[in-house]
Amino acid sequence: MSWSAEVLMPTWPCDGCFVRQPPDALLVEPDAAGKVLADYATLAPDMVSVRLLADEARYKPSLIKGVQQWQQRFGHRRSLMVRLTRANTLHERLILLDRATGWVLGMPFSSLARKTRTTLVRMRPEEQAHKIAVYAEIWAEAEPLRPRLGFDHRADD
């Protein structure tokens, strides 16, 4: 499977356009791994602020390495924020753009292109508005990703 940035990310026609908030992509993946950043988040255009929301109990240890690699590759040129929700809070996989448009993903990001076909479905407007509001609250309550001390016995990707 191959995604282009044009499919997932809207284009902004002019640099001088009035924009209330910077372009934003929120990826919701309960069991996020470094692959989400390396294979999908990098598709966002440079000016887009990328946010990733994962579940505290389900994210993979490779996510920390993925964040470190992002920082090495892009430094401060590309915005990335990763937060964790309380354990077992997240159940959906979503892509929310500019706090206005949303899609539901039919399987984990880590399984895309490896398993059977899946769907990426745009939400209905009324569902979209509700999900965006709910995930804005979840994001606000989530904690920034911090490396764990000690041995993490959970299986990686």
Per-residue pLDDT tens digits for 141-154: 999 998 654 434 34
Q: Which residue has the higher pLDDT, 67 or 149?
A: 67
Residue 120's pLDDT is 84
Domain membership flag for residue 10? no
What range defines the domain where residue 24 resides?
A: 20-144
Bridge-based pairing of strands 24-28 and 49-55 is parallel
The domain that holds 31 is classified in CATH as 3.30.870.10
Domain membership flag for residue 77? yes
Domain membership flag for residue 99? yes
Over the chain, what is the mean pLDDT? 82
Residue 129 pLDDT > 90:
yes
Domain membership flag for residue 37? yes
φ, ψ of residue 27 to 5 degrees: the values are -100, 125
Residue 123 exposure: Cα atoms within 13 Å on the Cβ side:
21
Residue 118's pLDDT is 76
Domain membership flag for residue 15? no
How many domains would you assign to the chain? 1
Residue 10 pLDDT > 60:
no
Residue 5's pLDDT is 37
Strands (E), 12-151: 24-28, 49-55, 80-85, 94-97, 101-105, 120-122, 143-144
pLDDT digits (tens, 9 = 90+) for 68-120: 999 999 988 899 999 999 999 999 999 999 989 999 998 888 777 676 777 88
Expressed in percent and rounded to 5, the helix, strand and coil fractions of the chain are 30, 20, 50
φ, ψ of residue 66 to 5 degrees: the values are -60, -40
Q: DSSP secondary structure string, 2-34?
A: ---HHHHS---S-TTS--SS--EEEEE-TT--H
Residue 110's pLDDT is 78
Domain membership flag for residue 2? no
Domain membership flag for residue 150? no
Residue 52 pLDDT > 90:
yes
Domain membership flag for residue 55? yes
Contact residues for 106 (Cβ-Cβ < 8 A; gap 6+): 93, 118, 119, 120, 121
Residue 13 pLDDT > 50:
no
